[in-house]
Amino acid sequence: MRKAAGGSGWSGIGRVAFRTYGKRRTDVQRGAGAFALAALLWLVSSGWDGAAAADAVRIVVLGDSLAAGYQLPASAAFPAQLEKALKDKGVAVSIANAGVSGDTASGGLARLDWSVPDGTDAVILELGANDMLRGTDPKVTRAALEEIVARLKARNVAVLLCGMKAQRNLGPDYVRAFDAIYPELAAANGLIFYPFFLDGIATDAKLNQSDGLHPTAAGVAVIVERILPKVEELIARVKAKSRTSP
């Protein structure tokens, strides 16, 4: 991981560029088999074996520890809170948590096929924070995200792209190159776009855990509230596509 220059990140969180969102990738790789088994068990228990309600939109959140719910109970993680918020509004939806702590965009690409199983209607793509914190070349991050999007589009899976912003202590050149990845990728591929996944909580100590990186359950609730309109747009796109399919 590249050391960042001095200063604060996101104009409020100091020196967090020396850390990562969740465990490092080497630690994650050791648990990849366990995650695959957990994903399979989730699919069976949630009805993705074919018994799910015919009108339920099946969404996978492909991400890192911000999706996985680092240090939170499963019910407080982003996918679970989002599913509950949608169901409370009467939306038939099933949301899988395919977040892996410490994962990068390249890591998400490597596990894409088994993290996003057949039958998935839509993906909420939340990756890149660890790339940024480690100082990964933005070209590498961009290429991995582009390939993920291309492969999902080829499978007719709708995508909501969650943006990430570089901490400003990484320098203007890095910030400019990294921040441009997400809006440009969304525009080039006609994706539904949420500009900054941590919007509203990134600099609020009350909504983050002691590491200054990962949201508390209350912080996740803020993310869900803010991103909900975009997720509803994603679901509407899925339903519109299904109506026009032969």
Q: What is the mean pLDDT of residues 31-56?
A: 48
Is 214 one of the catalytic residues? yes
**β-strands 8-9, 13-14 pairing:** antiparallel
Cβ neighbours, 10 Å, residue 195:
15
225 with 82: CB under 8 angstroms? Answer: no
60 with 116: CB under 8 angstroms? Answer: yes
CB half-sphere exposure, 182, CA atoms < 13 A: 24
Q: Which of 64, 65, 94, 101 is catalytic?
A: 65
Measured distance CA(44)–CA(180) in Å, rounded: 39
16 with 209: CB under 8 angstroms? Answer: no
pLDDT level of residue 54 (50, 70, 90 thresholds): low
pLDDT digits (tens, 9 = 90+) for 61-105: 999 999 999 999 999 999 999 999 999 999 999 999 999 999 999
114 with 137: CB under 8 angstroms? Answer: no
Give the pLDDT score at 45.
Answer: 39
Q: What is the DSSP letter of 5?
A: P
pLDDT digits (tens, 9 = 90+) for 121-179: 999 999 999 999 999 999 999 999 999 999 999 999 999 999 999 999 999 999 999 99
Burial grade of 7 (CB within 10 A; 0-12, 13-18, 19 or more): middle
**Is 70 exceeded by the pLDDT of residue 246?**
no
Give the pLDDT score at 53.
Answer: 59
Q: Report domain extents, the chain.
A: 8-47+56-244
Is 211 one of the catalytic residues? yes
76 with 220: CB under 8 angstroms? Answer: yes
Q: Which of 27, 137, 211, 242 is catalytic?
A: 211
Residue 97 bridge partners (DSSP): 61
Token reading at 99: 């977040």
Kindly report the length of the chain: 246
Which residue in the block uniquely carries the two structure tokens 């002691």?
Answer: 210
Which residue in the block uniquely carries the two structure tokens 């969102």?
Answer: 21
CATH architecture of 8-47+56-244: 3-Layer(aba) Sandwich (3.40)
Q: What is the mean pLDDT of residues 3-22?
A: 39
Helix axis angle for 172-189 and 138-154, nearest 10°, is 10
